[in-house]
């Protein structure tokens, strides 16, 4: 479904965030990407839908080469990519329903968007998804009245209503407590499985990755240093991912969940609202 070939990203500051990563996400698997802070996980995910422009390499989704699209083509392609963000990134002043419906913006005109006149089918979809994520009663609540876990569920609903071909998830649980994190992860993977949608999820809590993912990708300093099933992620592999080298068995046992605060995307100049796609 998703094929990434030799993806590179060097920021204007000279920071080489991705040094040629090649990987794929197939069928309806859930792939978790782990790695220390600054490894390039966020950059990678953002390069897939070109929120961050890759310096070189190709990204192909279901036969379409995303990296070769012009701005109109890219906009159309993004409709098929659902993205969920670490800080939820919901429009706070709008209601839950309006935020969920924003997933369908790619299918309505600007005037319809302004008047919030979405097709009845979209409304029905929205209610159904809100029921599924457990927010059925909250459709008309303003987002800034919600808790962190509830907001992330709205984020999931927004991505899912796009009926996407793939879900990109960027650190969905960093701002949540451990119990809510687990609930959110479970919800995410269940919904994805129900709809047979592959998920690429960027996560730094290794235990969550091991619990919920079919496959693990390990990134270190812009390079893919591990690719395999959760069972194959032993201490050697963890060292490679988090320390960048192989250490003999005499090091401490048990996995270490490194503390990161996962802002491995430096502030870039890609910040303009218009003028870029």
Least spacing, CB of residue 91 vs another protein, in Å: 5
Cβ atoms of residues 9 and 52 within 8 Å? yes
Nearest residue (CB) to another protein, 39 versus 81: 81
Q: Which is nearer to another protein, 164 or 218 (CB)?
A: 164
Q: How far is the CB of 200 from another protein (least distance, A)?
A: 14
Q: Where are the alpha helices (DSSP H) in 116-219?
A: 120-133, 148-160, 178-194, 206-212
Min. distance of Cβ 114 from another protein in angstroms?
5
| Interface with another protein (CB under 8 A) | 49, 51, 75-79, 81-83, 85, 87, 89-95, 97-98, 102-106, 110, 113-116, 120, 123-124, 126-127, 139-140, 155, 158, 162, 271-275, 277
Of the pair 83, 191, the CB lying nearest another protein is at 83
Concatenate the DSSP letters of all residues of 45-94 into one string. Answer: HHHHTTSS--SEEEEEETTEEGGG--HHHHHHHHTTEEEE-TT----TTS
What Å distances lie between residue 88 and 61, 143, 169, CA to CA? Answer: 24, 10, 10
Q: How far is the CB of 82 from another protein (least distance, A)?
A: 8
In the complex with another protein, the residue whose CB is nearer, 167 or 225, is 167
Q: What angle do CA 1, 197, 128 make, to 5 degrees?
A: 150
Q: Which is nearer to another protein, 97 or 225 (CB)?
A: 97
What's the min distance (Å) between Cβ of 255 and another protein?
Answer: 31
Distance (Å, rounded) from C-alpha 242 to C-alpha 245? 8
């Amino acid at each position: 479904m998703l094929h990434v070939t030799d993806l590179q990203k060097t920021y204007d500051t000279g920071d080489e965030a991705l040094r040629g990563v090649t990987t794929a996400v197939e069928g309806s698997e859930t792939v978790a990407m782990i790695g220390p802070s600054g490894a390039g996980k966020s950059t990678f995910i953002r390069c897939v839908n070109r929120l961050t422009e890759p310096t070189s390499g190709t990204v192909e989704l279901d036969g379409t080469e995303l990296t070769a699209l012009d701005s109109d083509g890219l906009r159309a392609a993004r409709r098929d990519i659902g993205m969920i963000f670490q800080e939820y990134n919901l429009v706070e002043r709008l209601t839950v329903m309006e935020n969920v419906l924003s997933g369908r913006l790619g299918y309505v005109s600007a005037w319809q968007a302004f008047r919030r006149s979405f097709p009845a089918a979209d409304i029905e979809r929205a209610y159904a998804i809100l029921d599924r994520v457990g927010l059925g009663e909250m459709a008309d609540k303003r987002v800034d009245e919600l808790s962190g876990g509830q907001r992330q569920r709205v984020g999931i609903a927004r991505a899912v209503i796009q009926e996407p071909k793939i879900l990109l998830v960027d650190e969905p649980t960093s701002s949540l407590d451990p119990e809510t994190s687990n609930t959110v992860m479970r919800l995410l993977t269940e919904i994805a499985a129900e709809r047979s949608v592959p998920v690429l999820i960027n996560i730094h809590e290794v235990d969550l990755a091991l619990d919920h993912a079919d496959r693990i990708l390990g990134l270190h300093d812009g390079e893919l240093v591990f690719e395999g099933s959760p069972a194959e992620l032993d201490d050697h592999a963890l060292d490679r991912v988090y320390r960048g080298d192989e250490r003999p068995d005499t090091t401490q046992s048990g996995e270490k969940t490194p503390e990161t605060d996962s802002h491995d995307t430096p502030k870039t100049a890609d910040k303009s609202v218009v003028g870029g796609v």
